[in-house]
Amino acid sequence: MAEVDQGELERLDSALRVAESALEEALEAAENLGDFDRRYDVPRALGGAQRLVANAREAVDAARQR
């Protein structure tokens, strides 16, 4: 397996932390707005995005331990 560039790994982790924070803010705003769009369950979609970001952060943590 190729060695992982630690600088790029840190850059990715930083971007994921920013995304995580932005998604938290977006989820709070969506919940405050209530059911503003009947076509989509926006809070649920944001929750899914949060899970994807969390999964990516787990991958970064695992790469750090190698």
- Give Cα 15 to chain centroid, integer Å: 9
> Rounded to whole angstroms, how far apart are CA atoms 52 and 42?
15
State pLDDT tens for residues 11-52.
Answer: 999 999 999 999 999 999 999 988 888 888 999 999 999 999
Confidence label for 1 from pLDDT (cuts 50, 70 and 90): low
Rounded to whole angstroms, how far apart are CA atoms 57 and 28? 21
Query: Both tokens of residue 15?
Result: 């971007």
